[in-house]
Amino acid sequence: MIVYDGLKTDFLQSCENDTIAIQIEENVLEKLGKHTPKAEFRSWENSLNYMYKVLNDNEIPDDSGVAIEFNIPQTSKRVDFMISGYGNNDSPGMVIVELKQWDSIKEVTGTDALVETYIGGGNQLLVHPSYQAWSYAQLIQDYNQAVQDNAVTLSPCACLHNYIRHENDPLDAIQYQEYLDEAPAYTKGQLQQLRDFIKQSIKKGDHKEVLYLIDHGKIRPSKSLQNAIGSMLKGNREFIMIDEQKVAYEEILRLSLKSQKDLKKRTVIVKGGPGTGKSVIAVNLLAELTRRDQMVQYVSKNSAPRQVYLKKLKGQIKKSSVDNMFKGSGTYTEVGENMAHCLLVDEAHRLNEKSGMFHNLGENQIKEIIHAAYCSVFFIDESQRVTMDDIGSVAEIEKWAKDAGSELHYLELKSQFRCNGSDGYLAWIDNVLDIRETANYDLEGIDYDIRICDSPEEMREIVIEKNRQANRARVLAGYCWEWIASGKNSTDVHDIKIGDFEMSWNLGSGEPFAVSETSINEAGCIHTSQGLEFDYVGVIVGDDIRYENGKVITDFSKRAKTDQSLKGIKKLYKESPDAALSRADEIIKNTYRTLMTRGMKGCYIYCTDKGMKEYLKKRLEHAKK
């Protein structure tokens, strides 16, 4: 949907009359039902007056189309500015301009396409403007049937009209060159270069015909996108399905294709414990449903699984349209009903009520996901809710599915493929942490390496040795140590200190913790490891869980102040101590249960509390006998 459209002459006239921002504001209210914040209104005035100067050129056809705030169908993304027309040989074309009012940026090394800039009252990590422009063009190319069938050429660029470019500018850092080649960035003083870029594609006016084509194009994944994700998955052993994983995959595939045909809503709840292959099923469905002409996305609240599975699919490829298929759970606060054929929600137990950095957007993520898709699939393990904000539960999904008139379907994955198929180890963990009473378990002779270490140094040495085999071993820790802000990107700053033992939390830049070869020198937390698996893990158990007077006790006061998992617990404790202690107990135990079940072949545990260490040793020895 286009918020504002007109010919070039219409746009210039509105700018001269100082009415362009007012017209857009009125259209936003009429078409989107939203009131425009003052800051956004001012940004239109500033940026569009600059575009007035750019288009005020006789060689840019007067009857070329101009569109402002184009809402890319099936998404919540809006393109700032578009100019349409015909190029050489009367081929249809459109120039996409991403407008920025930034006046400075900082290069973020070790990441793909991220920059740091001051916006909204503080420094934030955002994508490079050229990447943003390129990704929007790629999204339209990949899913708009009219663009595909009519061979519309999309030419993206970025315009930072307040930005003064210098020699060796961070905007032009070598790591961004791939995206600058696809979508050049024009800055203050480069007005003529931006004009020339537009004139390369727009040589003849179209009376908005190309805009109409794009605005009314049907949703269909392009063949290039289908082939790309298909080839990435093919032969990738990490995504091979076995036994009941394949059964669940086929059933979800059938239900999603049925919704695509009869346009009825269906909600699928897939229950499964650690290592049952929930993510493997989701990634395979992502590829196959895309091949079946569906608009489908992999969704998770936590960014770590998205980053890792995308990395494993793409390998060393940087620039890929597959990026657009992996989304955060807060993406759907403003999208229309049934914008997607299927949404595959991994780690659904981690979903939140509100979205956004300040938890002030939307109403309920589960409700919004169900609203946004014909078929919504929730992969869930209720025993992995690890923060106060986690609302994902079977009951909550059922509630919103019924409210939306969606059919409910249930699947369960029972076999444990993590921990070398050992249900006994998982039962032992649940029992010794006093999470739940479990059936008889027997650890004698199981092919799984469990050790309770006497020192953190011993634990780390074992993990480092195991990691030499395939870079699939990591140290993890409970969140009992502050995350030092000055050291978030420096391995020389050690957040975790236990006697002479020191270690950094995982760094905030570079490759994802689970795949980076340097991550063996860092400790991962629940947020960077949940939803992922390794061959071996070493787990540092902090003072938030101890063994005293014959009981396993939890103590939320021992959690680090930088930990947001228990945000609000102190307030709840003042209002209702019993409720607060019960909630904190569940979160802390679920956290360690999750950390201790990340390793498929072994887990090495060190406890800061001596009582807890001796307790686990005795329980392990007893279980092996």
Cβ count within 10 A of residue 17? 10
Mean pLDDT of 537-543: 98
pLDDT score for 68: 97
Helices 38-55/191-201 angle, 10° precision: 70
**466 vs 313, higher pLDDT:** 466
Output Rg (C-alpha) for the chain, integer angstroms. Answer: 27
**321 vs 54, higher pLDDT:** 54
pLDDT score for 235: 77
Strand positions, DSSP E, 230-310: 266-272, 296-300
- φ, ψ for residue 16, nearest 5 deg: -65, -30
Whether residue 135 is predicted with pLDDT greater than 70 in this model: the reply is yes
pLDDT in tens, 283-301: 999 999 999 999 999 999 9
Q: Are 65 and 5 in contact (CB under 8 A)?
A: yes
What is the CA angle 610-612-616, rounded to 5?
120
- Spell out the residues 6+ positions from residue 256 whose beta carbon is closer than 8 angstroms to its own: 266, 285, 289, 294, 296, 341, 342, 374, 375, 377
pLDDT in tens, 68-125: 999 887 777 899 999 999 999 999 999 999 999 999 999 998 788 999 999 878 888 8
Residue 422 pLDDT class (50, 70, 90 cuts): low
> What is the reported pTM?
0.90
Q: Which residues of 152-164 are buried (b: 16+ CB within 10 A; e: fewer)?
A: bbbbbbbbbbebe
Whether residue 163 is predicted with pLDDT greater than 80 in this model: the reply is yes
Q: Which residues of 567-599 are buried (b: 16+ CB within 10 A; e: fewer)?
A: eebeebbeeeeeebbebbbebbbbbbbbbbbbb
The percentage of the chain sitting over the pLDDT mark of 70, rounded to a whole number, equals 98
Residue type, position 44, single letter: W
Whether residue 318 is predicted with pLDDT greater than 90 in this model: the reply is no
Residue type, position 167, single letter: E
Residue 417 pLDDT class (50, 70, 90 cuts): low
Cβ count within 10 A of residue 472? 17
**243 vs 567, higher pLDDT:** 567
- Spell out the residues 6+ positions from residue 339 whose beta carbon is closer than 8 angstroms to its own: 73, 74, 75, 295, 332, 372, 373
The structure tokens 């993206």 sit at: 156
Mean pLDDT of 502-518: 88
User: Can you tell me the distance from the alpha carbon of 115 to that of 111, in angstroms, rounded to the nearest whole number?
Assistant: 9
Give me the domains of the chain, ranges plus CATH numbers.
Answer: 2-215 (no CATH), 223-413 (3.40.50.300), 424-624 (3.40.50)
Mean pLDDT of 129-144: 95
Say if strands 501-505 and 522-524 run parallel, antiparallel, or are unpaired.
parallel
Mean pLDDT of 553-565: 95
What is the CA angle 117-118-121, rounded to 5?
150
Of 29-38, 135-144, 264-273, 419-428, give the lowest mean pLDDT range: 419-428
Q: Are 450 and 620 in contact (CB under 8 A)?
A: yes
pLDDT in tens, 471-485: 999 999 999 999 988
pLDDT score for 262: 98
pLDDT score for 51: 98
pLDDT in tens, 246-284: 999 999 999 999 999 999 999 999 999 888 899 999 999
Mean of all residue pLDDT scores within the chain: 93
User: Can you tell me the distance from the alpha carbon of 245 to that of 253, in angstroms, rounded to the nearest whole number?
Assistant: 12
In the structure encoding, which two tokens stand for residue 456, read together? 């953190």
Residue 501: strand pairing partners? 498
Residue 447 pLDDT class (50, 70, 90 cuts): confident
pLDDT in tens, 183-231: 999 999 999 999 999 999 999 999 999 999 999 999 999 999 999 999 8
Mean pLDDT of 146-171: 97
Q: Are 29 and 35 in contact (CB under 8 A)?
A: yes
